[in-house]
């Protein structure tokens, strides 16, 4: 069976850029070596628009720090990397991870809404009278209304009874924390975004970042595969809900505005796939969009892994983009009681004031999850193609398991499905890597949503599986403590951390909690606020777990680069692997050069709008194949009968 190998990753979430492990490093910045800490702070300072890279390797201050007597940080000052890291560390850290919702999203203290009111006349004998433009008089005329014309353009309206109206109003929004992209990072300014929804801008950025992280030109990859052996597996969970997508379409008529021509199309939840196919990869292969609530990433990953294992595709772009920090979505979750409100946090934690930085508290005393936004994309290849091209080796995916919950009395309640997926994942680890790898060299990336129900049910599953497979002190990582719940790409956030842990030997703790809640099952688990540092060689397997609304349970097995490489060495000859290592050095050097350039702000999304469109006359079809002028290789048509024994 072909092994799906991870050769690139890219994207962005509240912790920063995905490629080069920037976002991972931000999560564990307090235990990083000084050089990596400085690199992380400087790269984020550039991303946040605080400084701009100069040609000589130094940085010019774009936004000086207010309320400081340090003139060395004034606007226009040129600094070296050490000075940037020292001077802007506090601002960078404050402007990343979960934090108070910024005004550019919406005003959580004075959110605009329309309140209902009923207007009645003070003198009921005269009726209610008011003037209005004739063009604004509703048709048909409401019951009880009568008109007297005042000139050609105005009417005097008399109403018998009352009039129900909606008044512009403001209210305090109960949820004030979210995992927002780094403050000041504006993707729309990096390319001609054409008023595209935020989620699609993020998809272009994430796919571009992932593609460049491979260190091999896309056209070179295409030379080694047929045009239909490429697949993009992507979606958003809710669609694009801001004003440029479904949000604007749904609100327009209620606000007295017109629906724009693009709102419906741009809002569709498969649009991230379509944008990547059309504007980043120019792909004519598989386009696949799966949606499975919080397990959406793993659902897309399962299909991609299966297609690679079956030989349907040889290279896949897998990921999701979600921009859900909009009042409508957050209002919906808050009404369900799913989000952590300021009032509930004060009541639960006993604090006089709310610490929005600690809004997401997986496996601790908690009162709801925290919304986040993210774009996470990964480039997968079958092992033969990765070896042939000399692609970087970040790890591999052996299995993705998905099971439903069966009968339940609440569609959002948990059930047995996640017990099944986790048990299957643990057994699959034993089958592929052995019992010792599972017992002493594996860790779990928990769904860890920060709700009271999740902390009990998910920890019980982990503890039960650990007992069945004789695991002691099984490390559990909860990424949502740092970036919030990003819905569709949530398990993409997990995968980024898993790959980062393999390289850096750091399992991020849960710094937002002081202690694990009393009702958490942890007899065989290792959960806590502190980071756990291990020798990277002792981290070989990660299990990603997701518990989605409606019974969308999923668990995936991820192998480390070292474990994956040993598997490749068993499959291929020493000569083949030696050639692979030589080619890999070149691609890794190219990838490293991109990471350095990206840290200096060179990461504009690929946006091939209208470039190289395929005309009908460029397509040639015969009985055996389809060839397209300008694309290497051919699309072979099926000729074998897979059901020959039944024909």
Helical H runs in 350-469? 383-389, 417-433, 435-440, 452-468
Is the pLDDT reported for residue 448 higher than 90? Answer: yes
224 counts as catalytic: no
112 counts as catalytic: no
The predicted-structure confidence for 489-547, as pLDDT tens digits, reads as follows: 999 999 999 999 999 999 999 999 999 999 999 999 999 999 999 999 999 999 999 99
The predicted-structure confidence for 233-256, as pLDDT tens digits, reads as follows: 999 999 998 888 878 777 877 777
Report the chain's C-alpha Rg in angstroms.
Answer: 27
Active-site annotation holder among 356, 447, 504, 521: 447
Residue 239 region by backbone torsions, left for phi larger than 0, else alpha for psi between -120 and 50, else beta: left
pLDDT, average across residues 195-221:
97
Lowest mean pLDDT among 175-189, 244-258, 445-459: 244-258
Bond into 140 cis (ω within 30): yes
Helix (H, G, I), strand (E, B) or coil at 345: helix
Q: What is the mean pLDDT of the chain?
A: 94
At 257 the pLDDT is 77
H or E, element range at 321 = strand 315-322
At 350 the pLDDT is 86
447 counts as catalytic: yes
- The residues spanned by each domain of the chain are 4-11+176-571, 12-98, 111-171, 619-646
Is the pLDDT reported for residue 125 higher than 80? Answer: no
Helix and strand element counts for the chain (H, E): 19, 27
Active-site annotation holder among 419, 485, 504, 521: 485
Sequence-distant (6+) residues with CB within 8 A of 510 are: 361, 362, 363, 364, 448, 478, 481, 527, 528, 529
The predicted-structure confidence for 143-173, as pLDDT tens digits, reads as follows: 999 999 998 899 999 999 899 988 989 999 9
Is the pLDDT reported for residue 263 higher than 90? Answer: no
Q: What's the CATH architecture for 4-11+176-571? A: 3-Layer(aba) Sandwich (3.40)
Active-site annotation holder among 294, 356, 367, 504: 294
């Amino acid at each position: 069976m072909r092994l799906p190998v991870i050769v690139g990753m890219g994207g962005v979430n509240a912790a920063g850029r995905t490629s080069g492990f920037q976002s991972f490093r931000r999560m564990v910045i307090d235990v990083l070596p000084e050089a990596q800490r400085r690199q992380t702070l400087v790269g984020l300072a550039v991303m946040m628009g605080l400084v701009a890279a100069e040609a000589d390797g130094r940085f010019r201050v774009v936004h000086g720090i207010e309320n400081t007597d340090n003139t060395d940080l004034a606007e226009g000052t040129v600094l070296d990397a050490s000075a940037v890291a020292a001077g802007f560390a506090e601002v960078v850290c404050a402007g990343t991870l979960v934090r108070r919702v910024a005004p550019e999203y919406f005003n959580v203290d004075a959110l605009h809404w329309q309140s209902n009111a009923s207007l009645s006349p003070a003198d009921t004998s005269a009726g209610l009278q008011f003037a209005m433009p004739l063009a604004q008089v509703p048709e048909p005329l409401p019951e009880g209304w009568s008109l007297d014309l005042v000139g050609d353009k105005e009417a005097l309206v008399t109403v018998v009874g009352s009039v129900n109206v909606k008044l512009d109003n403001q209210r305090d929004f109960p949820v004030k924390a979210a995992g927002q992209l780094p403050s000041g990072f504006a993707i729309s300014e990096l390319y001609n975004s054409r008023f595209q929804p935020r989620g699609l801008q993020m998809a272009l950025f994430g796919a571009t970042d992932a593609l460049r992280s491979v260190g091999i030109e896309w056209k070179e990859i295409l030379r080694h595969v047929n045009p239909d052996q490429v697949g993009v597996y992507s979606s958003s969970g809710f669609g694009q809900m801001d004003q440029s997508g479904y949000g604007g379409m749904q609100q327009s008529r209620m606000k007295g505005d017109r629906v724009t021509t693009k709102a419906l199309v741009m809002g569709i939840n498969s649009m991230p796939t379509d944008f990547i196919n059309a504007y980043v990869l120019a792909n004519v292969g598989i386009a696949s969009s799966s949606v499975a609530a919080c397990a959406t990433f793993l659902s897309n990953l399962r299909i991609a892994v299966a297609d690679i294992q079956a030989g349907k595709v040889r290279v896949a772009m897998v990921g999701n983009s979600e921009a859900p920090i909009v009042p409508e979505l957050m209002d919906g979750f808050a009404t369900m009681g799913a989000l952590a409100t300021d009032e509930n946090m004060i009541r639960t934690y006993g604090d006089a004031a709310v610490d929005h930085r600690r809004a997401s508290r997986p496996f601790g005393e908690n009162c709801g999850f925290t919304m986040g936004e993210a774009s996470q994309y990964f480039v997968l290849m079958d092992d033969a193609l990765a070896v042939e091209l000399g692609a970087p080796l970040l790890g591999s995916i052996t299995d993705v398991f998905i099971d439903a919950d069966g009968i339940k009395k609440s569609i959002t309640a948990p059930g047995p499905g996640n017990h099944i997926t986790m048990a299957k994942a643990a057994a699959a680890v034993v089958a592929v890597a052995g019992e010792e790898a599972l017992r002493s060299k594996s860790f779990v990336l928990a769904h860890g949503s920060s709700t009271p129900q999740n902390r009990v049910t998910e920890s019980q599953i982990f503890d039960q599986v650990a007992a069945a497979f004789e695991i002691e002190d099984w490390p559990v990582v909860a990424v949502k403590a740092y970036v919030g719940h990003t819905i569709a790409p949530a398990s993409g956030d997990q995968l980024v951390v898993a790959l980062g842990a393999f390289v850096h030997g750091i399992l991020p703790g849960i710094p937002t909690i002081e202690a694990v809640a009393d009702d958490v099952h942890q007899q065989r688990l290792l959960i806590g606020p502190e980071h756990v540092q291990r020798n990277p060689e002792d981290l070989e397997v990660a299990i990603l777990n997701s518990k989605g609304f409606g019974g969308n349970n999923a668990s995936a097995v991820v192998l480390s680069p070292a474990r994956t490489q040993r598997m490749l060495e068993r499959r291929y000859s020493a000569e083949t692997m030696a050639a692979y290592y030589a080619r890999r050095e070149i691609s890794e050097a190219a990838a490293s050069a991109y990471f350095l350039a990206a840290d200096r702000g060179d990461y504009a999304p690929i946006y091939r709008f209208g470039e190289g469109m395929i005309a009908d006359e460029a397509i040639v079809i015969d009985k055996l194949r389809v060839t397209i002028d300008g694309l290497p290789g051919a699309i072979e048509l099926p000729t074998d009968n897979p059901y020959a024994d039944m024909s």
